[in-house]
Structure 1
Amino acid sequence: MKWDDLRIFLSVARSRSFSEAAVRLGVNQSTVSRRLASMEGHLKTQLLDRTTDGPVLTETGNDLLAMAQRVEEEFFHIDSAVTGRDMRLSGRLRVTCIDMLVDRFLAPHLAKFTAMHPEIELEILTGLRSLDLMRREADVAIRASDAPTESLVGRRLFDFNLAIYAANSLADTLPDQPDPADLDWIGLHDEANTKRVVKVRFPTARIRHRVDGLFMQNAFVREGMGVAALPCYWADRDPAIRRIYPEPYAPNGLGFWVLIHPDMRRTARVRAFVDFVSGVLKDHQPWFEGRLIEDASATVRRRV
């Protein structure tokens, strides 16, 4: 049995979706289905029941899952131990972070880093799903978190502050310190996120609209469809929206982290990137903590 076949099996078992597994692995869905069918033929047993709700592990499939996870852990341990001794400032470097951070802040700094290290190949992986560094889905994570995985190592740089924003046209109609219950709120589909980010601080808030991404949430706010909790580092720089409550907050002690797998600490390209990006972020700490606002003309700054 080949390791690549086990990787496909593990991805399908975890996602319970052939299409999602294909996206994660970077292959066609037909390839996933064909390789799994080949595995079942080789083992002469059925590993998955194909149902209308997605693939479901059989009893044999569950047994194989436990064994495959142990093999995966050993493989990643070997891979990380060897890769972690790589002292070259070259090769592929996979970084996971939210797309808005790259779009609104990080892109020019990444360009500077790659100019400094022309043999390093950056691969930026964005999205709301947190990629697993322990499974080597990425090398570095730039992540807002209140409790990062204990098995990872990294730096908590500062508080990751949010504030409540509305379109200027909507904010003009609101009183100072409006009652949260009187507002239409725009939340994310993730109910746990909504509770952590909004409900803990504004328990009477009524979520009218839900979206599945930060770009869309920001767009709804700009169109005056409601208010939302947005990260200060980009919302304060958007001339079309403004805060309706002045004080920023870090829900549940939310912090901004740069994290790596412990075996990657000695890898030169990882260490160089972590030092570089941590320095850049610390230099802009007031933006992320919501203590510095830039007006629409980008010529006046004031502390709050």
Structure 2
Amino acid sequence: MDIPWDDARLFLAIAETGSFSAAAKRLRVGQPTVSRRLAALEYAVGAKLFRRGVEGAALTAAGERLVLPARKMAEWAGEFQRAAESSDSSPKGLVRVTASPFLSFDFLAPFASHVASKHPGLRLEVQSTIQYADLGRGEADLALRTQCTRNADLTCLFTLEVHNAVLVSRALKERLPRRPTLQQLPWVAWAPPYEAVPPNPQLESIIPNFSPAFTSDNYLVLLSAVEAGVGATVCGHISHRFSTRRERNLVELDIDLGPHAKSELHLICAKSALDIPRVRRVSELLVQELERARKR
């Protein structure tokens, strides 16, 4: 039996997302295509791999046996792709960087202009997402993350200590007490399904009966609410030269976040990706900017 990698990747996408529609979105194909190709794969294997129900697609016993091999195939497919691309002679082409919505908006988008001015042949694709992209599988080339990696195939290129700032609009600051407490602030925070994303858990841990004044599942909506004076939010403040906070008319409150006053930002990359000139050059430019931020 010869199972193509594309079929194994489709199987893995369904297994990890738990639904045909989510797998179709990840693979950027139509849901009918996912159903058709899975049916062909199940015919070739001679067994049903998923049980479809109201809650999505659940693995059968036969499907469970294929998950680990499929994940290993995905990792090796990423290694194969990076090995093939390492023969590039110059830093040109697309580099995909994944980061939180805030970092993508505040730092990586303006950083892309700097990259373009230095290397016109380079293009950045910024993946603004809450979920972690799998660097080993090649879902992104570089990542800015708040947690360092323990994966032996990945490496941390730089770590920056970040000051976590409470931000409000100038208009809201004028309406607040001179030295407000955390409890006195109206808060703008994530809505489900992102209620476990910072700063929600941190605020819940230091504010009794934490109840935000406004929530959304979209970062730009949250930012707009803060700008409009609806409430305060917490952001990791990186003092970089591309900052647009002044233009957004946001100011920092002098307020104690206790154990959450600082965090770390890590630049992560698959070790083998550094053999690709375009990835290595963008990583070097990112390290330079993070070093600048450390000194500011």
Give TM-score, length-normalised by structure 1.
0.81
Cα distance, 1:179–1:121 mapped onto 2, change above 3 Å: closer
Query: How far off is 1:102 after superposition?
Result: 4.2
Shift of 1:2: 1.1
**Following the alignment from structure 1 to structure 2, what is the Cα–Cα distance between the partners of residues 9 and 170?**
50
Shift of residue 18 of structure 1?
Answer: 1.8
| Deviating more after overlay: 123-132 vs 232-241 | 232-241
Aligned counterpart, 2:51: 49
> What's the counterpart of residue 147 of structure 1?
148
Instruction: Decide whether the 8 Å contact of 2:188 with 2:213 is kept in 1.
Output: yes
The structure-2 alpha-carbon separation of the partners of 1:90 and 1:236, relative to structure 1 and needing over 3 Å to count, comes to closer
User: Equivalent residue for 1:125?
Assistant: 127
Aligned to 2:264: 255
Residues 162 and 250, structure 1, Cα contact 8 Å, conserved in 2: no
1:215 matched to 2:220: yes
Q: Distance in 2 between matches of 1:219 and 1:250?
A: 27
Structure 1: distance between partners of 2:116 and 2:245: 28
Specify which of 5, 8, 22 is matched with residue 6 of structure 1.
8
Q: 1:194 to 1:104 in 2, by over 3 A?
A: closer
What CA distance in whole angstroms lies between the structure 2 residues aligned with 1:224 and 1:263? 46
Task: Report how far residue 212 of structure 1 moved.
Answer: 1.8
Where 2:134 maps in the other structure, the secondary structure is coil
Matched, 1:191 2:192: no
Q: CA deviation at 1:71?
A: 2.7
Closer, same or farther: CA 250–274 of 1 in aligned 2, 3 Å: farther
Name which of 228, 249, 253 aligns with 1:244: 253
Match of 1:187, SS state, is strand
For 1:169 and 1:102, the matched residues in 2 are separated by 26
1:191 is matched by which residue type in structure 2?
Answer: E
Give the paired residue count.
286
Asked if 1:227 corresponds to 2:232, the answer is yes
1:275 corresponds to 2:279: no
String of CA shifts for 1:87-137, please: whole Å, max 9, x gaps: 432333222223443443433442342343343343332222221101110
SS of the aligned residue for 1:125 comes to: strand
C-alpha contact (below 8 Å) 2:13/2:23 kept by paired residues: yes
Letter of the aligned partner of 2:274 in structure 1?
Answer: R
Match of 1:18 in 2: 20
Provide the secondary structure at the position in 2 that maps to 1:254: strand
CA RMSD after TM alignment: 2.8
Query: 2:97, 2:124 within 8 Å by CA — same for their partners in 1?
Result: yes
Cα 1:159–1:264 shift into 2, 3 Å: same
Q: Distance in 2 between matches of 1:271 and 1:225?
A: 42
The amino acid that maps onto 1:244 is: L
Secondary structure of 1:147 counterpart: coil
Q: Do the aligned partners of residues 85 and 252 (structure 1) sit closer, same or farther apart at CA in structure 2, a change above 3 Å counting?
A: farther
Deviation for aligned residue 1:201: 4.5
Change (3 A) 1:81 1:156: same
- SS of the equivalent of 1:184 reads coil
Specify the alignment match of 2:160 in structure 1.
158
Distance in 1 between the 2:279 and 2:270 partners?
10
User: Which amino acid in structure 2 is aligned with residue 273 of structure 1?
Assistant: V
Correspondence for 1:301: none
Distance 2:147 2:141 in 1: 20
Q: What is the one-letter code of the residue matched to 1:280? A: E
Q: Contact between 2:83 and 2:272, CA under 8 Å: does it hold in 1?
A: yes
Could you tell me the percent identity over the aligned residues? Answer: 26
